């Protein structure tokens, strides 16, 4: 620990900004994995279910969460998925083996049901294409079925299935994690780059104004990282709009300080992908700028060390909707999660889409029990607050912070922070994490030219027990509380950030 004074400070000025926030930064992800779909968002017969079988309690929580873009149907699942299986009369839909998660897929929830769900929560669909076991022909057939108004075999098939109006899907993922050897249909960068280019070109012949996402690396630690992006973009740079990033973090071997600094890796990952994409753009002499779609991110205990929501096993091979990856999140997890949100906002100039993976039950902010309750995990609160108050323009925040040493990332700031200004009202929201496990972090923020005079709220997510969790038996064990002693006078905001805390300070 440094001998420097244990306090942090930064300055906010409306003339120093990063970028307006694309609302799709607050997206999420619905994959046919475990209980995300079945007994998660879709459970006919549940006491709250609507006529289409969507759980009303979950719909309410998703609206409260403030999710925007919704990516579907995978994930690893999509690389073996036949979209035709999930359309038409439910009694005629086939049951299939899902190789990705060794489950049986009933296809009782498919494209039409997903679009209905998206419309009911006020989101935007983000459709992933199977470029693992399928290719160009199947992609444009799905596009025509989904988006063409009518008058062709595929569009009229949609009409006959009960959906007269086209779905209007504008945002498409050209496959999923095809750099990964675990992926059904794994490809080399050259193989995938050519396929992505061919698919994008064909799709743009139907609708030139689509937004298309090329697969980037599944993690920064992949051996092929950066070389993969460079090769793929060399093939499809002028045909796509975004390149994807995926990252998951968890506490390993009791190294909590490194875990709390996970966003150091997130920011490095973003900046390295930007550098790679811009290098290819320069090499191709293109005026176009590729943006980033961070379409899978979360805390995920990939070693299975986290407590689970139910305490039950992981299900048997080829089971229907088994309990898989149902991590039960702690206060510590929620603080790291909030820090990851700060990292995304700090790079809003290039990260235009981001999807929390996933939405319900599977490493999710919302948990359910079949036939029973739905409740908020600890991670629900930072996401809901960021989505609600993180709309506007990100201000350039450059903290002067005490630092400490971590095993994985070396010296890191104890303060991780950003701020967003609502251009209509002039209100500013500061999002800040104190990574110190034991000490309060005093914070001074100098405000220049912002016309702010009032602290509306200082919300804190912290707990005397850093491992406290919300459960079905105690769903509100962890909720935000009001911070003490926060004041604004003569252009100076003063606050005290509790140890191991996520903070939302709203100024008007």
Q: Which residues are catalytic?
A: 177, 296
Distance CA 108, CA 111 (A): 10
**Are the C-beta atoms of 55 and 83 separated by less than 8 Å?**
no
Parallel, antiparallel or unpaired: strands 211-214 and 242-249? parallel
- Distance CA(146)–CA(395), nearest Å, equals 39
Q: What is the DSSP letter of 129?
A: P
Rounded-to-10 torsion of CA 372, 378, 383, 386: 130
Q: Which of 378, 380, 375, 367 is nearest to 462 (CA)?
A: 378
As a whole number of Å, the CA-based R_g of the chain is: 23
Nearest Cα to 61, choosing from 455, 368, 356? 368
Q: Would you say 191 and 232 are in contact if contact means Cβ atoms under 8 Å apart? A: no
| Separation CA 87–CA 94 (nearest Å) | 10
Number of Cβ within 10 Å of residue 408's Cβ equals: 14
Q: SS3 string of 198-256? A: HHHHHHHHHCCCCEEEECCCCCCCCCCCCHHHHHHHHHHHHHCCEEEEEEEECCCCCCH
Strand partners, 481: 460
């Amino acid at each position: 620990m440094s001998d420097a004074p244990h306090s942090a400070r930064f300055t906010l000025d409306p003339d120093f900004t990063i970028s307006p926030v694309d609302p799709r930064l607050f997206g999420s992800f619905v994959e046919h994995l475990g209980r995300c779909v079945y007994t998660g968002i879709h459970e006919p017969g549940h006491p709250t279910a609507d006529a289409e079988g969507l759980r009303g309690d979950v719909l309410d929580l998703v609206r409260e969460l403030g999710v925007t873009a919704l990516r579907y149907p995978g994930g690893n699942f999509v690389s073996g998925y036949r979209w035709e299986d999930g359309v038409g009369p439910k009694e005629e839909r086939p049951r299939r083996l899902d190789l990705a998660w060794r489950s049986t897929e009933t296809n009782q929830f498919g494209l039409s049901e997903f679009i209905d769900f998206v419309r009911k929560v006020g989101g935007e669909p983000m459709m992933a294409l199977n470029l693992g076991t399928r290719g160009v022909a199947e992609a444009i057939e799905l596009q025509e079925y989904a988006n063409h108004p009518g008058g062709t075999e595929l569009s009229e098939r949609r009409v006959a299935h009960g959906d007269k109006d086209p779905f209007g899907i504008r945002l498409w993922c050209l496959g999923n994690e095809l750099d990964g050897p675990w992926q059904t249909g794994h490809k080399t960068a050259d193989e995938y780059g050519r396929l992505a280019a061919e698919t994008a070109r064909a799709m743009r012949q139907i609708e030139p104004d689509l937004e298309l996402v090329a697969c980037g690396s599944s993690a920064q630690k992949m051996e092929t990282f950066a070389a993969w992006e460079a090769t793929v973009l060399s093939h499809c740079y002028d045909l796509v709009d975004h390149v994807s990033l995926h990252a998951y973090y968890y506490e390993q071997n009791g190294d909590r300080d490194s875990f709390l600094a996970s966003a150091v890796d997130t920011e490095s990952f973003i900046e390295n992908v930007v550098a790679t994409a811009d290098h290819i753009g320069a090499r191709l002499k293109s005026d176009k700028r590729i943006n980033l779609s961070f379409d899978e991110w979360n805390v995920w205990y990939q070693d299975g060390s986290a407590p689970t929501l139910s305490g039950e096993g992981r299900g048997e091979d080829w089971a229907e909707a088994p309990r898989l990856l149902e991590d039960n999140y702690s206060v510590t997890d929620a603080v790291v999660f909030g820090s990851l949100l700060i990292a995304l906002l700090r790079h809003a100039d290039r990260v235009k889409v981001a999807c929390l993976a996933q939405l319900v039950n599977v490493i999710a902010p919302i948990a359910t029990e079949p036939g029973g309750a739905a409740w908020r995990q600890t991670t629900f609160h930072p996401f809901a607050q960021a989505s609600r108050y993180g709309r506007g323009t990100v201000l350039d925040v450059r903290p002067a912070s005490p630092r400490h040493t971590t095993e994985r990332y070396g010296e890191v700031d104890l303060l991780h922070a950003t701020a967003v200004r609502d251009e209509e009202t002039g209100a500013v929201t500061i999002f800040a994490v104190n990574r110190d496990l034991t000490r309060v972090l005093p914070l001074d923020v100098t405000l220049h030219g912002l016309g702010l005079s009032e602290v509306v709220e200082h919300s804190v997510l912290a707990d005397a027990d850093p491992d406290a969790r919300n459960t079905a038996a105690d769903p509100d064990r962890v909720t935000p509380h009001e911070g003490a002693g926060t004041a604004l006078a003569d252009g100076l905001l003063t606050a005290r950030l509790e140890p191991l805390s996520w903070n939302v300070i709203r100024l008007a």
